[in-house]
Structure 1
Amino acid sequence: MHRITVVGGGFAGLTAAISAAEAGAKVTVYEAHHTLGGRARTAEGPYRTNEGPHALYSGGPHWSWLKQRGLIGPPAPSPPLARLRLRHHGGLRRTPPFALLKLLRRGARQAPVDRDFLSWATEEAGEEGARAAAHYSAVALFHHDPGALSAAFVQERLRRAARLPIEAHCPRGGWATVIDRMAARAWNLGVRMETLSRVDTLPTDTPVVVATSLDAARQLLGDDSLTWTGGRTALIDLAVRTRRGDAFAVSDLDAPGWIERFTAQDRSLAPAGEQLIQGQFPIAPHESRADGAARAEQLLDLAFEGWRERVTWRREAVASGRTGAVDLPGTSWRDRPAIDRGDGVYLAGDQVAAPGVLSEVSFNSALTAVSLALGRHSLDLKHA
């Protein structure tokens, strides 16, 4: 029987543990914190917030994998698009500008890897449409200047974020419900899970899947090459007293930013009579959390009338390098740190060499890492 050690009990680590155990391996997971989940944790208490406005994209491979195993649970229903608002030229509108739609039409050209999105999209739809599209795509890439990134990278996220029917779904009760089901699945498969167990030295007698942040992996492996460009984002969490007419979500087309009222889909996330709003506002290296909060307040003023007098709870934070990889012009996911590090060590996470959008990168890298560790070309995704 194969033995595999997994360092990190977040989404990538639990995916690796479950897939390895299903393939017959004996698995041990070490998690440094007292709870599993990593960035997929949901806060306890009256306001069930995630670390940022998380969502699962149903068009990705992890959706079917989780669903086949009964790990998603009933997703929260998607609110009607009529409740989505777009900020453009300082005002709110219900429909995107026509120039942006040109970039989403079926016959649109495939964007190149080696050019920045803004210059390429400007040739396709004009500068106004290109900037609006770049800013809208920020909901799926958490970067302060999406137009400066690889055109192919941004186009993929733009298409996924704007696809109809809506791909983004929120697990009812928050991401912790998915993590709890994954942990139970792993436990039933015989996976040994050790929390409050920080790993400082890798074991040498088993293959190891390091499913941590890239910063933590760099320190653990002593490998300075484990770096990649990421975003820096101001996270805003608010609870406000309920008022009829509040928007479901607001996308800023004038600058990167997104606000979503999560209780519009799942009322269990806040006490009765209150609404939970979460937003993400990418900020440049020279900008502060306060700069991101100021942009959030501008959107709130437009879409949530009287929100300042209705606030019952507020929290702000900055996520730096915790929102996945972004690819600069001339690079793609294949250029990120390789999963196979040699000597039986494999990486999994959202900043390594695996395809996908957001958490799909963690999922794909975890399956690849386990496949390599077990000496198999691929794992059977349909095995339950």
Structure 2
Amino acid sequence: MHRTHRITVIGGGFAGLTAAITAAEAGAEVTVHEAHHTLGGRARTAEGPYRTNEGPHALYRGGPHWTWLRERNLVGPLAGLPAREAARFRLRHRGRLRRTPPLAMLRLLRVDAARAPVGTDFLTWATGIAGEEAARAAAHYCAVALFHHDPGSLSAAFVQERLRRATRLPPEAQYPVGGWGALIDRMAARAWNLGVRVETLSRVDTLPTDTPVVVATSLESARRLLGDPALTWPSGRTVLVDLALRTRRGDAFVVSDLDAPGWLERFTAQDPSLAPAGEQLIQGQIPIAPHESRADGVRRAGELLDLGFEGWRERVTWRREAVANGRTGAVDPPGSSWRDRPAVDRGDGVYLAGDRTAAPGVLSEVSFNSALTAVSLALGRRELDLKQTGG
């Protein structure tokens, strides 16, 4: 393949590999620098026997990255959810488990519901439609897609988009067998076959000046590397609780908290390979406020476990807890949208990719869209479009 450009990608996570593959397909000579000894970033999956991820590992089928991955045969085998497990979806409301959301909350899910405004907070807007209790329940349910301790305080348009995506039927969430790590392995292989040079344990402290650079790191790392204090944007803060339990019939598949933001999911319900036989792997995502501690999140996770997993304390075979700061994607305050986040084009041949950049989408879709935009700008949009379409 005739290569007319060189591009440097800093960061070998989902955004970095997307950028590297896209640039290489367009004919560029690409080098990826990854500070860790393995690729993946937050998309890494731990080695067995408990194959945990640094956060959720579902792909949203309706997103743009879904088509891109499928076209390149990168999605791989998907873990389907048995019907009996789907029936074990539970909601905590008023301190009790229930199978259905409050009736008033359904008003916010109607297809013909009014488009929420950008400049108003979600709680205010939704209360006017469904009442305050239902509005809070809907906001808290969105913890699965935005990981914020007070979703009702965010832009109504921002939260509404995530509410609709998270409640769509049939569900958009798809689960790669083996977790995100399996997907990353396929992307890495694709990059290697395209001639991408990958250097692990390669920490970059100074930007190269002889090639365009795509900085596909966390926003905090990008701020330090670029020396740009303007690279900030709000994000969520959660307590991750991973634990393995001895299997028991009747356990919930999901416990979604409508009384406060929080979510538990039994990932072995759809992919038993994530834990040894006879055990099930559960992850809790509990958003916490800036003044709250890990213990606060762990306590709330325990309350959900008490409701959905009878006798869970006596069944624990493995457990891990961690606080995730600023690693859950951008959240947009009232009056702002994705267009107001840090721009992809930083000038002087430097481009930003990641989940807190000025790109549309939900969760990893933001990383994907920003990576494509970064490469498009770095190579020249016309050339990239022609290459991608075979022109």
| Range into which the TM-score falls when normalised by the shorter chain | over 0.9
Contact 1:52 1:279 in 2 (8 A): no
Residue 63 (str. 1) matches residue 66 (str. 2): yes
One-letter code of the match for 2:262? G
Which of 48, 51, 59 matches 1:45? 48
Describe how 1:179-194 pairs up with structure 2 within 5 A: 179-194=184-199
Question: Which amino acid in 2 is paired with 1:221?
Answer: L
1:36 corresponds to: 39
Kept after mapping to 2: 8 A contact 1:65/1:382: no
**In 2 relative to 1, CA 57–321 (structure 1 residues): closer, same or farther, beyond 3 Å?**
same
Identity of aligned residues (%): 80
1:74 to 73, 77, 91: 77
Question: Deviations 1:195-236 (Å, cap 9, x if unpaired)?
Answer: 000001111111000000000000000000000000110000
How far apart are residue 44 of structure 1 and its match? 0.8
2:148 corresponds to 1:139? no
2:113 alignment counterpart? 108
The question of 1:239 aligning with 2:252 is answered no
Aligned residues: 383
Structure 1 position 54, deviation (Å)? 2.4
Aligned with residue 11 of structure 2, among 8, 25, 31:
8
Checking the alignment, whether the CA contact within 8 Å between 2:44 and 2:180 is kept in structure 1 is yes
Corresponding residue number in structure 2 for 1:285: 290
1:173 partner SS: coil
Q: Does the aligned pair in 2 maintain the 1:68–1:382 contact within 8 Å?
A: no
- Residues 299-338 of structure 1 correspond to what in structure 2 (within 5 A)? 299-338=304-343
1:348 maps to 353
CA pair 7-319 structure 1, distance change in 2 beyond 3 A: same
Partner of 1:135, secondary structure, is helix
* DSSP-derived class of the 1:170 partner: strand
Contact 1:55 1:169 in 2 (8 A): yes
Maintained 8 Å contact 1:53/1:260? no
Q: Is the 8 A contact 2:25 2:388 kept in 1?
A: no
Please tell me the residue identity of whatever aligns with 2:55: G
- TM-score, normalised on structure 2? 0.97
Give the drift of 1:45.
2.2
Residue 200 of structure 1 corresponds to 205
The one of 302, 322, 325 equivalent to 1:297 is 302
Match of 1:375 among 362, 371, 380: 380
1:48 alignment partner AA: R
* Aligned mates of 1:349, 1:32 — CA distance in 2: 16
> Is residue 178 of structure 2 the alignment partner of residue 173 of structure 1?
yes
Check whether the contact 1:83–1:249 (CA below 8 A) recurs between aligned residues.
yes
Q: Counterpart of 2:80 in structure 1: which amino acid?
A: P
- Report the CA distance between 1:382 and its aligned residue: 6.0
Q: Which runs of 4+ in 1 moved over 6 A?
A: none
Letter in 1 for 2:69: L
- 1:52 partner amino acid: G
Q: Normalization by structure 1: what TM-score?
A: 0.98
After superposition, the CA RMSD in angstroms is: 1.0
Residues 111-166 of structure 1: per-residue CA shift (max 9 Å, x gap): 00000000000001111110000000111000000000000000000000000000
Distance (Å, rounded) in 2 between the aligned partners of 1:29 and 1:303: 44
Indicate if the aligned counterparts of 2:26 and 2:388 stay in contact, CA closer than 8 A.
no
When structure 1 is superposed on structure 2, of 64-73 and 327-336 the one drifting more is 64-73
For residue 25 of structure 1, the aligned residue among 24, 28, 48 is 28
Q: 1:225 aligns with which of 225, 230, 235?
A: 230
**Over residues 264-305 of structure 1, what are the superposed CA-to-partner deviations in whole Å (9 max), with x where a residue is unaligned?**
000000000000001100000110011001111101101111
Residue 381 of structure 1: how far off its partner (Å): 5.7
1:79 CA displacement: 4.1
Mapped to 1, the partners of 2:196 and 2:82 lie a distance apart of 38
Which residue does the alignment assign to 1:95? 100
Q: Secondary structure at the match of 1:46?
A: coil
Write the letter of the residue equivalent to 1:371.
S
Q: Structure 2 counterpart of 1:344, which letter?
A: G
The AA in structure 1 aligned to 2:295 is: A
Q: Which runs of 5+ in 2 are unaligned?
A: none
For 1:21, give the aligned amino acid.
Answer: A
CA distance, structure 2, for counterparts of residue 31 and residue 56 of structure 1: 23
Question: For 1:103, what is the secondary structure of its paired residue?
Answer: helix
CA–CA separation in structure 1 for the residues paired with 2:56 and 2:316: 19
Q: Which consecutive unaligned segments of at least 5 residues does structure 1 have?
A: none
Alpha-carbon deviation of 1:107?
Answer: 1.2
Q: What is the CA–CA distance in structure 2 between the aligned matches of 1:276 and 1:256, rounded to whole Å?
A: 21
**Is 1:123 aligned with 2:133?**
no
Q: Deviations over 1:170-195 (max 9, x none)?
A: 11001000000000000000000000
C-alpha distance in 1 between matches for 2:234 and 2:77:
35
